Every structure is written in structure tokens, then in C-alpha cells.
Amino acid sequence: MSEPLRGVPAAPGVASAPPWLPPTSGGGVLRPEVSLGEAASRAAAELAGLRTRLVTAGRPEEAEIFGAQALMAEDPELLDGAEALVAEGKPPDEAILAAGESAAETLASLDDEVLSARAADVRDVAARIARILRGEEPPRLERRSIAVALDLPPSVTAELDPALLAGIALEAGSRTAHAAILSRALGIPAVVGVPGLLAAAETATEIAVDGGAGEVYLDPDGATSEEIGRRLGEATRRAAVDAGLRDRRLQTADGHRLMLGANIGRPDEAARAIEAGAEGVGLFRTEFMFMGRATPPDEATQTAAYAKVLAEFGERPVVIRLIDLGGDKDLPYLPLPPEENPFLGVRALRLADAGHEALILTQLRAILAAGEKTGRQPWIMAPMVADLVDVYRLHELVSMAAFGKLWTVQPRVGIMVEVPSVAMIAELVAPEVAFFSIGTNDLTQYLLASDRTNPVLAARQDPLHPAVLRTIMRVIEGGHESGIPVAVCGEMAGDPVGAMALAGLDIDELSMDAGAFGAVKRAVGAVSLGELREAAHHAMHLERASEARAVFDRILAEATSPT
Ligand code: PEP
Ligand code: MG
């Protein structure tokens, strides 16, 4: 077997295909027969086409950025600036790049966050016009391929035909990178954060990715191809079995039920979650709705989005998380000041006290309005809550947003438990909120002091670590003392072994990507609650996460072996 390059598992599935590397610009030759004006019109047409494609694909929020860029491409000021440089003797491709750069610099210097963030868009548009002037093709897949890149910006990813995109392997990026999220939603296997990938892949003619294991094989040898084929067959068989489990509840072998929630990032993912058998939305990561756009969605747009999910889920609970920005999630139109340690910085709820209160109030008003419109009670959840002061601030923000109107539908207000300080005082916080949802991704990173986006530390990010298990137990007990439900919505919930451990710690709900439902139902459903409790308590006394994993693997194997 070939040795794989290891990265962060970003989207499950197995695929093997020739690599495709996004073209780097500058390879073409200037075509004198194409005028600047023609190239600009063509760029505008390409961008308008991209916009239509995304609208048709049900991704209207991402489409908007390309609509705005189509207008920029024909902006007379940009073109006049370039023509003036051509008159001075500059070649047209260099002239448009220079004019784009100067327009971008002007925008960037404005004291207006939204306009200054457009700078990157203008540069992108100018680069597109220059590419057309040089006769270079837009990035396009000719055949089924695995995209191999440092990172894939939205404008490139959106241009690729999803039917030909068999997999994604990125040298940079994290599980929450845009390309990773997109590939999960589209069901395309992806591995990100693979150190040394680009240099190693330079001469490869075939690439295999295992998005579940986080492995990339370059030019797989015979034995590896066979293994990849076996994993593919296994994944296909599993998918068929999982589809058959759709109507089965999430419960232990002796019938102890847990609620099964779906994690979604966009309103149009609700339908897939319901189809897969979700009993509610345990985490709606709303910040993804704010990404890939030129401006934040306004109150009416947000209201419509939340109302869509609330209406589709009907009686079932929908947990809408307040925008969770900062850390590794940034918005071009909301530039956050550079920080030495962004994960410990002005993140999420903390933005309310750092000049962005209006952003959060608009979102809260939209959530309340969506509840009113649909007659469904929204569950509002704040990320990055560190203590009771944050909880009181959260309630204050909800009251401010509700002020001045009579609401017939009252929200339930809860928090994510992902900062160790709030986990330590869970029993003091529980009486002040309606529910807890444990964010094991951040809780693990903060407890183990290990950056979740750093691929070198990936092996340390295991929530089966005894310190994390003990903390989770504490939070569950603290919540139950006050009679509030406690869920887990971090990736641990969608990992079969993680789900078994959580069931053994008496968690009430597991929320995950709908793609993981079947595997989690199978694992939790194989073992009795008593056995899971015993294993979870045993795991808390082990030295390492790998030993805890082995314990659960063993009881699962014993429970499912034919004997
Ligand atoms: C978490 O931290 O576990 C979580 C669910 O939130 P996110 O991954 O979006 O930070
Ligand atoms: Mg988090």
C-alpha cells in the first residue's frame, strides 16, 4: 500500500480520479483583436451567467456577489481609468489590472466597512477582464477530477461543474473552510489542511481521497487502488443500509431514546435533513448565510430564511445560532481588526460589545419576526458564552430586539457550552437559560490548548480525551440539575464512537450533519445504555483518547459480531 498524505477529514466519501489544479493566471498571450470594452462585456456576461447558475442551484445568497461583480465589470470609471493607461502606452491587460488596483485602493481607504470590503471584488473583476484579454480560459473541469489546490476561493468553486468534481484536496483550510462546507453540502469527499500536498502532487496523474479518514494517496499503487475500491464499495453499501435506517429512532439497544438533530448551514439544507429523518435542527450555523456575499443579508432576507426553516420543521425544534464570526471565520465586508490570537479574541457574542451590536440586534429581530410569521417558537442560541455576565448580556440583547412590539411567540434562549469557564459553572448557569448545547469542537480546542485549524495538532483534537469527557459529564449534570435539555452539536456527535460515549454520559440530544445519521444510529443502537454508561465512565479514567476509542470500538465489535 502507498503511504497517504494526511490531512483534516472535511467531507466523508472516497473517490479516485486525475488531479485538476486551478490555472494560475499569466500563461496566455495578449489578443489584440479583443478590445478592453469587449473583454469587459464578456466578463460581465460570465459573471451574470455564474449568478444565474447559482440562483438556479438554490444558492441565491452566494449568487448576489457575482451579480454585484457583473455590474463592476462594466463600470465606466474602471474602464476609463484603464483606457487612459492604454493611451499612455501600457498593454491593455496590465492597464486593467492597474486600474482595478487603484479602484481597489480607493475603496479600501474609505471609512465604510462595506465599501472597503469591495476592494477584493474589484481586483477579482479586473483579473477576469485581463484573463479574457489574454485569451485564457476560465477554470473548467473537462473530465471527472479531484481538485487539488492551496485553497479554493468561492469564485472558483462556484464555477466548477459539481457533476465532474469527484473530490477536493487542499493544502490549506480547515473543516470550516468554505470549500469544506460546500463539499459536505454537495456530498463531495474532501480532505483539507494537507501539509506538502502541492509539491507532492506536482507530477501525480491519479489522486485518491478518503474524506472520512483524511487521507490523500498520490498515484496509488495496485494494492492501494484495491483498498480504495474496497472502501468505496463499503461506503456505497453503508449508504444503502443507512437509507434503510431513515425511519428508525436514535436509541440504544435497550430502547433508551435520544433526540436526533441536524446541523445545517443554509436554509436549503433543511429539506435534506428532514428527508434523512431529522427530529429537529440542533444547530443552524447562520454565519454561513453571511458568507460569499458583498453585504450582510438584511432583516427581511434573514426573516425569510429563518421562517423557511421553522415552517419546514413545523412542530420540531429549530435551534438558530447567533452569528459566530471571528476565529477562523471572517467576512470580507466586516473586517475584524487583526488579532494575535483570533480564537481567543473578539469572537461571536463578543462582537456585540466591539461595535457590532446592530448586526446582532438585526439578526435577533429577524429570528423573532420569523417566529411570529410562522407561529413556531424559535430556539435562539448564543455561541462563545464564557460566564453569567455573557448570559445576562444575551438576555438583554434579546429584550432590546423585542422592544416596542407585542410578540405572540416567545423564543427559548439557550447557549453553546464551548468555553471551559462556562462548563465549570454549568450548574450556576443552567437556571438562567432554556437549554445547553455543547460545542465539542471549540471545547476540545480550548480545554486542550490546541488550535483546531492547525493540521499538525490534528491528533490532539480528540474529544474522547479524559479531560473533555469529564467536562462534558459536568455540563450534562449541571444542566439536568435544573431540568434543562443538554445536546452536543460539535463533530463528536456525528462520530459513531463519540456518539456512543455521549449516550453513555446521558446526553439528551445529538446534532450532526445529516450524512452521519445512519452510522450513529447503527453504533448507538448496537449497545445497551448500561454498557455505554460503564464504558463512558471507564473512558474518563484512561490516559488517552486512543484508549477510550479502543474501548468503544471493542464493545461495538462485540455487539455487532455474528458470533
Ligand atoms: C463547536 O465549536 O463545537 C461548534 C459546534 O461550533 P463551530 O464548529 O461552528 O465553532
Ligand atoms: Mg464553536
Residue pLDDT, tens place only, 267-304: 988 998 999 999 999 999 998 888 767 788 999 999 99
Residues 325 and 282 in one domain: yes
Q: What is the CATH number of the domain that holds 456?
A: 3.20.20.60
Provide the percentage of residues in the chain whose pLDDT is more than 90.
58
Q: Are 345 and 386 in contact (CB under 8 A)?
A: no
Residues 115 and 79 in one domain: yes
Note the pLDDT of residue 138.
75
Query: Does residue 258 sit within a domain?
Result: yes
Query: Does residue 366 sit within a domain?
Result: yes
Q: How far is the CA of 319 from the centre of ligand 2 (A)?
A: 14
Residue of minimum CA distance from atom 4 in ligand 1: 439
Note the pLDDT of residue 107.
79
Residues 62 and 107 in one domain: yes
Regarding the beta carbon of 64 and ligand 1, being less than 6 Å apart is answered no
Higher pLDDT residue, 496 or 153?
A: 496
Q: How far is the CA of 383 from the centre of ligand 2 (A)?
A: 7
Last residue of a domain, one of 105, 133, 161: 133
Q: How many CB atoms lie within 10 A of CB 275?
A: 11
Regarding the beta carbon of 489 and ligand 1, being less than 6 Å apart is answered yes
Residues 236 and 333 in one domain: no
Residue of minimum CA distance from atom 3 in ligand 1: 439
Q: Which atom of ligand 1 is nearest to the CA of 327?
A: 10
Regarding the beta carbon of 513 and ligand 1, being less than 6 Å apart is answered no
Q: What is the mean pLDDT of residues 380-389?
A: 97
- Does this model's pTM top 0.95? My answer is no
Higher pLDDT residue, 260 or 34?
A: 260
Regarding the beta carbon of 463 and ligand 1, being less than 6 Å apart is answered no
Q: Three-state secondary structure along 202-245?
A: CCCCCEEEECCCCEEEECCCHHHHHHHHHHHHHHHHHHHHHHHC
CA 541 to chain centre: 33
Distance CA 492, CA 488 (A): 8
Q: What is the mean pLDDT of residues 369-394?
A: 97
Report the interhelical angle of 545-560 vs 466-481 (nearest 10°). 70
Beta bridge partners of 326: 329
Regarding the beta carbon of 242 and ligand 1, being less than 6 Å apart is answered no
Q: What is the CATH number of the domain that holds 169?
A: 3.50.30.10
Give the H or E element holding residue 102.
helix 92-109
Q: Which atom of ligand 1 is nearest to the CA of 263?
A: 5
Confidence category of residue 27, pLDDT binned at 50, 70, 90:
low
Query: Which DSSP category does 3 fall into?
Result: P
Ligand nearest to the CA of 384: 2
Regarding the beta carbon of 11 and ligand 1, being less than 6 Å apart is answered no
Query: Does residue 383 sit within a domain?
Result: yes
Q: Are 486 and 436 in contact (CB under 8 A)?
A: yes
Note the pLDDT of residue 244.
84
Distance CA 165, CA 185 (A): 13
Residue of minimum CA distance from atom 8 in ligand 1: 441
Q: What is the CATH number of the domain that holds 48?
A: 1.10.274.10
Domain containing 206: what range? Answer: 5-22+139-241
Distance CA 210, CA 218 (A): 12
Query: Does residue 28 sit within a domain?
Result: no
Q: What is the mean pLDDT of residues 524-543?
A: 97
Is 541 marked active-site?
no
Q: How far is the CA of 327 from the centre of ligand 2 (A)?
A: 9
Note the pLDDT of residue 317.
98
Regarding the beta carbon of 440 and ligand 1, being less than 6 Å apart is answered yes
Q: How far is the CA of 328 from the centre of ligand 1 (A)?
A: 11
Distance CA 301, CA 297 (A): 6
CA 56 to chain centre: 22
Query: Does residue 440 sit within a domain?
Result: yes
Q: Tens of pLDDT along 318-344? A: 999 999 988 777 777 777 788 888 889
Higher pLDDT residue, 55 or 75?
A: 75
Distance CA 546, CA 491 (A): 17
Q: What is the mean pLDDT of residues 533-553?
A: 96
Q: What is the mean pLDDT of residues 432-458?
A: 90
Q: Are 18 and 205 in contact (CB under 8 A)?
A: yes
Regarding the beta carbon of 441 and ligand 1, being less than 6 Å apart is answered yes
Note the pLDDT of residue 243.
78
Residues 160 and 104 in one domain: no
pLDDT winner (highest mean) among 214-223, 445-454, 471-480: 471-480
Last residue of a domain, one of 133, 167, 198: 133
Domain total for the chain?
Answer: 3
Q: Which atom of ligand 1 is nearest to the CA of 283?
A: 5
Q: How many CB atoms lie within 10 A of CB 2?
A: 16
Residues 124 and 143 in one domain: no
Q: How far is the CA of 427 from the centre of ligand 1 (A)?
A: 22
Regarding the beta carbon of 81 and ligand 1, being less than 6 Å apart is answered no
Residues 488 and 364 in one domain: yes
Confidence category of residue 558, pLDDT binned at 50, 70, 90:
very high
Q: Provide the phi-psi class of 327: left if phi over 0, else alpha when psi is between -120 and 50, else beta.
A: left
Burial class (CB in 10 A: 0-12, 13-18, 19+), 249: middle
Confidence category of residue 134, pLDDT binned at 50, 70, 90:
confident
Higher pLDDT residue, 61 or 395?
A: 395
Query: Does residue 29 sit within a domain?
Result: no
Residue of minimum CA distance from atom 6 in ligand 1: 439
Which residue of the set 489, 537, 538, 541 is catalytic? 489
Regarding the beta carbon of 293 and ligand 1, being less than 6 Å apart is answered no
Residues 120 and 44 in one domain: yes
Is 489 marked active-site?
yes
Query: Does residue 27 sit within a domain?
Result: no
Query: Does residue 30 sit within a domain?
Result: no
Residues with CB under 5 A from ligand 2 (ion): 418, 439, 442
Backbone angles phi, psi at 281, to 5 degrees: -105, 120
Residues 476 and 387 in one domain: yes
Per-residue cell: 174 = 480547515
Residues 410 and 505 in one domain: yes
pLDDT at 102 exceeding the cut of 60? yes
Which residue of the set 178, 256, 465, 537 is catalytic? 178
Task: Supply angle C-alpha 437, 269, 365, rounded to 5.
Answer: 60
| Residue 276: CA count within 13 A, CB half-sphere | 28
Note the pLDDT of residue 457.
79
Distance CA 262, CA 509 (A): 10
Confidence category of residue 154, pLDDT binned at 50, 70, 90:
low
Last residue of a domain, one of 133, 153, 178: 133
Q: How many CB atoms lie within 10 A of CB 307?
A: 21
Q: Are 74 and 44 in contact (CB under 8 A)?
A: yes
Residues 189 and 330 in one domain: no
Q: Are 208 and 224 in contact (CB under 8 A)?
A: yes
Residues 333 and 413 in one domain: yes
